[in-house]
Structure 1
Amino acid sequence: MDTVQHVFKGTFVHSTKRGDMEVLENHILATDMKGKILFLEDAQSQARLAQKWGFDDSKIEELGKNEFFMPGMVDTHIHAPQYSFIGTGMERPLLEWLQYTTFPTENIYSDVEVAKTLYNSVVRRTLKNGTTTACYFGTIHTDASIVLADIASQYGQRAFIGKVCMDTNDVYPKYVESTEESIKETTRFIEALKKKKYDRVKPIVTPRFAVSCSEKLLSDLGQLAEENQLHIQSHISESLAEIDEVLRLFPDYKNYTEVYGRNKLLTHKTVMAHGCYLSNEELLVFKEKGAALSHCPNSNISLCSGHLDVRNVLKHKVKLGLGTDIAGGYSISLLDSIRKAIETSKIIFMEKQKKQVEGNEIDTFQKMKIETNAINSNAKNEIVEKEASYKVLSINEAFWLATLGGSEALSIDHIVGNFQVNKEFDALRINLEALNSPFEVFSDISKEEMVQRFLFLGDDRNITAVYVAGRRVMPLPSNA
C-alpha cells in the first residue's frame, strides 16, 4: 500500500516563527495519504528518501525556476453573506453602514436558496485567492449557516462557521432574534455540525458584537462555548462610536474587553476582530486569556474606523492574524490584507514622526534625516528604532501574519501554518510567469525577490494550485 500521496521538488517558503521567513531552495517535500507532511529536506537526499518512503522519480512533481510553494493563507475574519455587496456602501461610518447596507442584506438569507447561491460563490472565490482556512460569520439563520458549512466541506476548505447571534437591533428591528431563540438555534447549529462529522469544518460561537447582544445572551453564549469547548469570534473596539455605545449599554463594566471577559467569551480559542482602540490594560487581559486579534486593515480604512497598532499588539505578545472582513473590506484576497497591514504600519510611523516634530522631541537635523532616508527600508528601520521607537511592519512579518500567525490566532498552529513535518499540507503553488500574470519577470531574480514580487504585485492568476490537507482543491475539475 502506498504511503506517499505527493512528492514536490523546488522552492518552499514559510515562516518558522514571527518575522522569520525561511526560503528553502532545491528541497523536496512529500505528503502521506492523509495529507500530512512526511518530510521536507534538501533535494540532495532524494535517493535516500525515495528508498525510505518507497517512491520513484516518476512520482516527483518539479517546480519551475520562477515557482514556489507557500503555506495556505488564513483569513481570521470574513463575513460570508456580505460578499454579495462587496465594494459598495462604504461611504458611511461603521454603525450607519450596518444599519443601511449590512443588516437589510443579511436578512434575505432566511431564504436557503439565496444562501446556497452566494455561499457557493464566496467559498470558491476565497479558495481561488489562496484562503485555505476561513473564519466565517454567517447570519442569524441556522439553516443558511449549515449550508455554508456544507459548501466549505464540499470544496475542501478548512473553516470555522458561525451562526450569528444578536438579540438587540434598534436600528433595523427586522433582523433580530430573541435571547432564547438565539441560544436554542445556536445549540441546534452546533449539534447539526457535530453530527455531520466534518474533517475540517467546525462551529464557532458568534455573538455579533456587544452592541447587538444583551448581557444574558453574552453570558449564555460564553457558557455554551465552555460546555462544548468551542472557538469564539466577535468584534471589539472597531470604532470610537461603537465603544461609546458599548459603555452606554454596559455601564457596570470598566471597558469593552471586560464585557466579553466577565461573560466567558475571552479564551485561548477566541479571535476578536479589529481592536483598533484597545488600551494596554486590555491587551494584557488578551495575553493573559490567550485570546487573539484579527487585524482587518482594509476595513479599518474603508469605514474610517481607525488603525490597529500591530507593533504594540505584538509587543504585548497577543496572538494576531489577518482578516479581509468583507464587505467592510473591499478585497477578498489576503494579499491585499498583507499590503494594507504594511501601509497601516507606515501611516502609524508617519503619525508618530509628525507628533514628535510638532512636540519638539527631535531636533531639525534628526527630522531631515528621517525624511531623507524614509524611502530606504534599512535606514528607515534604524531611524525608527532609534528616534521614534517604532519599527514599521516588515514584509516577512506580514507574511507570517497571513500564514503561521493566523493559524496561531485560531489555535490550529499544531495542524497548519507552515511546512513543519507532521502538519497538514495546506499550500499554494505560486508561478510568477503564470498566464496573464499581473506583472513581468524580466531577468533572473533571487528567490527572496520572487516572494516579495508576488506578495506586493501578485493575485489569484499567480496561484496555480491550492492544496488543503494534501488534496488539490483548486483549480476545480472542469465539471465542478
Structure 2
Amino acid sequence: MASTYYLGTFIQSRSQTNLEIVKHGTIHVSDGIIRSIHRVGEDYSESDSLLPPSQLLRMLGYDITEPLTIWEIPENHFLFPGLIDTHIHASQYPNLGLFGKTTLLEWLNKYTYPLESSLTDPVRAKRVYTQCVNRSLQNGTTTAAYYATQSARSTNILTDVLINLGQRGFVGRCAMDSDLQPESYRDESPKAAVHDTKVCVAYCKEADKSGRVRGIITPRFAPSCSRDALRGLGRLLADGEKDGLLCQTHISENKREVALVKGLFPECSSYAEVYDTYNLLTPRTVLAHGVHLTEEEVELIKSKGSGVSHCPTSNMALGSGNMWVRRLLDKGVKVGLGTDVSGGHDVNVLEAARMACFASRSVAEGGKGERSKISVEEALWLATRGGAEVLGLKGKVGGLEVGMVWDAILVGLNGVPFNLCGEGDVNGAPNGIHHGGKGAKIGGKVDIFGWENWEEKVAKWLYSGDDRNIRAVWVGGKLVCRKM
C-alpha cells in the first residue's frame, strides 16, 4: 500500500474562531485517507524537525521500506484543507463579469437563460464545463455544488467532466417548468421536471461508483416551478434519504424575487414555507443567498436543519443586499460560502471569504453592531468546515484530521528578497518542493518580508491571495492540480 508523507507547516480551522497553526508537523496519507498526524511538541521536538526526512519518519515509527512519497513543505508554504464552494453555476461561467446594471430577474432573462439554453450543444457544453471546473480546481476548490442547465444531456456532460478532472462535486439539473422561463427553455411538464431530475441523479450514481460525484435535486427557485413539480421533487428527495441525496435551490436573494414568491404562493406565509410545504426543507437542503430572510424563516430553517450558502460577491454585484451572517451563526444555522458564478465574478472561494468579511463590516456599520463583523478565522471556517457541514460532508472533508479524506491544497507565499535594487529574482521564491522533480517559482500578490507571524501570513493570503498561490491540489489523495 503506497503512502505519502507531508512534512512541514499545516493550518486548519478547529472551530469557527480557532485557527490551528502547526509550524512543524507530519501527515501520513494512505489510500486517500489521513492515517496519522504528528505535531512538534506532542510527538517530537523542534530539534527533531531538523532531521533528514527519512530519519524523522523512522524516529516516528514509520516503515520507510514500503513504497512511499515524501513532500517537504518549503518556507512560506503551508498545507490547508481544500476550499468548498456550496453554490456555483458551471453553465454560466462564460458570463463572468457580465451583469451590467441589471438586478436578478432582468439578469436572468438578458444573460443567463440565453447562455444556458445554448449548452444543448454537447461540444459547447463540454468546453464551458471543462474550463469552469479547471479554473475552480486551480483556485483550490476541492468540492463544489454545481448547477448545470435544464437539459439532462448537458447536465450529464458536467458529471463526466468532474469525474475526468477529479474534483469532488454535486451536479444538479435545473428543474424549471413554470412560464417564468422562456417557452424554449423550460421543462415540458411537472412530470418531465421530476423524471429528468431522477435520470441525472441515477447517471451520477452509475458513472461514479466511488460517490465522489453525486447528483443533487435542483429546483431552480420556487418561481421556476409549478406546485406539482415542487411536490414531485419533494417526494424524490424523501425517497433518496437513505442515499444521502441532497437538494439545492435559491431563497430570498432579492426583494423583488421575495415579492414575486408571495404573489405566486399566497397560501404560504413566507418563501421558506413554500419549500417546507413541499417537503424540500430538510437537513439535506442547501439554500443559496438568504439575504432577506425574516426571523420566522431563520427559525424555520434552523428547526429543519437546512444549510445556507452565503454568496456575498454576487449579492453585491447584482445589488441584492448584504446578508447578516452573524444572525445565522448565532442561531446555529449551518452556513458555507458560494461563489455563485456568474452572478459572482470569480470562481475563487477565497474571494467569497474576503467579501464575506467586507459585507459583514457593511452590515455592522449599517446598525447591527461590531459583533456582526466576520473575522479571518471565521471566514476560513466558512470556506472549509462550514461548507462541508452544509453539503453533508462534516467529518469527511473540510479539515486535516485522522480519518478524514485527503482533500487539501498547498499554498505558497512570496518571500521578499533582501536585494531589492533590481538584482536577482524579484519573486524571491523559496526552494522548490521536493517531490521527485524540480521546484518552481511562484507569483501572486502576497509578499512576505520575514517579520510576519503565521497569523499575519494567513491574513495576507485571505485578503490578497489568488490562484497563483495555489501550488498543488489533492482530492481523495489524488494530485489533481500541480503548478511547479
After TM superposition, the score normalised by the length of structure 2 is 0.88
Deviations for 1:107-140, whole angstroms, at most 9, x for unmatched residues? Answer: 1111111111111111111000011000000001
Letter in 1 for 2:29: T
The offset of 1:347, in angstroms, is 0.3
Q: Which of 146, 150, 162 is the equivalent residue of 2:160?
A: 150
In structure 2, the partner of 1:204 is 216
Q: Deviations over 1:158-204 (max 9, x none)?
A: 00000110001335222111212111111211222222234200000
Structure 2: gaps of 5 or more residues: 49-54, 415-440
Aligned-partner Cα distance in 2 for 1:451–1:162 = 34
**Structure 1 counterpart of 2:35:** 38
The alignment covers a number of residue pairs equal to: 440
Higher deviation after alignment, 286-295 or 435-444: 435-444
Bigger CA drift: 11-20 or 92-101?
A: 11-20
CA distance in 1: counterparts of 2:450 and 2:462, whole angstroms: 18
Quote the offset at 1:292 in angstroms. 0.2
Match of 1:20 among 18, 21, 24: 18
In 1, the alpha carbon distance for the partners of 2:69 and 2:163 equals 28
Q: Is the 8 A contact 1:169 1:175 kept in 2?
A: no
What is the percent sequence identity of the aligned residues?
A: 37
Match of 1:99 among 109, 113, 117: 109
Q: Secondary structure at the match of 2:11?
A: strand
Separation in structure 2 between the aligned mates of residue 90 and residue 158 of structure 1, nearest angstrom: 32
Match of 2:420 in 1: none
The one-letter code sitting in structure 2 at the alignment partner of 1:97 is W
SS at match of 1:182: helix
Gaps of 5+ in 1: 354-387
Write the deviation string for residues 278-322 of structure 1: whole angstroms up to 9, x where unpaired.
112111111111100000000000000111100001011000000
Output the CA distance in 2 between the equivalents of 1:446 and 1:390: 25
Q: Give the partner amino acid of 1:215.
A: R
TM-superposition CA deviations, 1:12-61 (whole Å, max 9, x none): 110112221111110110101x2100111125548686464412698432
- Of 445, 453, 466, the match for 2:460: 453
Match of 1:403 in 2: 384
Deviation >6 Å, runs of 4+: none
Secondary structure, aligned partner of 1:416 = coil
Q: Tell me if 1:70 matches 2:80.
A: yes
* Partners of 2:413 and 2:442 within 8 A in 1: no
For residues 483 and 7 of structure 2, the distance between their equivalents in structure 1, rounded to whole angstroms, comes to 23
2:151 counterpart residue number: 141
Q: When you count helix as a share of all residues, which structure comes out higher?
A: 1
Conserved? CA contact 1:90–1:302, under 8 Å? no
Q: Deviations over 1:202-231 (max 9, x none)?
A: 000000000111111111001001102210
1:83 matched to 2:93: yes
Q: How does 1:376-395 map to 2 (within 5 A)?
A: 388=369, 390-395=371-376
SS in 2 for 1:110: coil
Say if 2:314 is the partner of 1:299: yes
Amino acid corresponding to residue 108 of structure 1 in structure 2: S
Equivalent of residue 449 in structure 2, options 442, 455, 462: 442
SS in 1 for 2:448: coil
Distance 2:316 2:253 in 1: 11
- What's the CA shift for 1:389? 6.3
Normalised to the residue count of structure 1, the TM-score between the two structures is 0.88
Question: In the alignment, which residue of structure 2 is the partner of 1:225?
Answer: 237
After TM superposition, list the pairs within 5 Å mapping 1:268-279 onto structure 2.
Answer: 268-279=283-294
In 1, the alpha carbon distance for the partners of 2:62 and 2:218 equals 44
Say whether the 8 Å CA contact 1:104–1:172 is kept in structure 2: no
Q: Relative to structure 2, which stretch is displaced further, 85-94 or 165-174?
A: 165-174
Give, as a single letter, the amino acid of the residue that structure 2 aligns with 1:40: I
Instruction: Tell me if the contact between 1:286 and 1:292 (Cα under 8 Å) persists in the aligned partners.
Output: yes
Distance 1:443 1:52 in 2: 34
Task: Tell whether 2:162 aligns with 1:160.
Answer: no
What does the per-residue CA deviation read over 1:36-87, in whole Å, with 9 as the maximum and x for residues that have no partner? Answer: 0011112554868646441269843211120101100000000001001111
